[in-house]
Chains A and B, each alone.
Chain A
Amino acid sequence: MSDNSIIRTEKLSKCFKGKIHALREVDTEIHRGEVVVVIGPSGSGKSTYLRSLNLLEEPTGGRIFFEDTDITDPKVDINRVRQKMGMVFQHFNLFPHYTILKNMTLGPIKLLKSPKAEAEEKAYALLERVGLRDRANAYPSQLSGGQKQRIAIVRALCMNPDVMLFDEPTSALDPEMVGEVLDVMKGLARDGMTMIIVTHEMGFAREVADTVFFMDEGTIMETGTPEEIFSAPKNPRTQSFLRKIL
Chain B
Amino acid sequence: MAGGATTPAWLLESEAGAFPIGCSGRRRRGSALEKTLDGLAKVVRQAITSEETAARPGLLQSLDARAKLLSVVALLVAVGLVRHIPVLAGVYLLTLALAAASRIGLWGFVRRVWLFIPVFTGLIVAPAMFSFVTPGEVVLPLGHWFGHEVGLTRQGLTSAGLIVCRVATSISLVVLLTLTTSWPRLLSALRTLFVPRLLVLVLGMAYRYLFVLLDSISEMVIARRARTIAAGRNGRGARAAAGFSGGALFGKAHALSEEIHQAMLARGFRGEARTLERARLRALDGIWLLACLALAVLVVGGDRALGL
A, B assembled together = no
Q: Which residues of B contact A (CB under 8 A)?
A: none
User: Measuring CB to CB, which residues of chain A are less than 8 angstroms from any residue of chain B?
Assistant: none
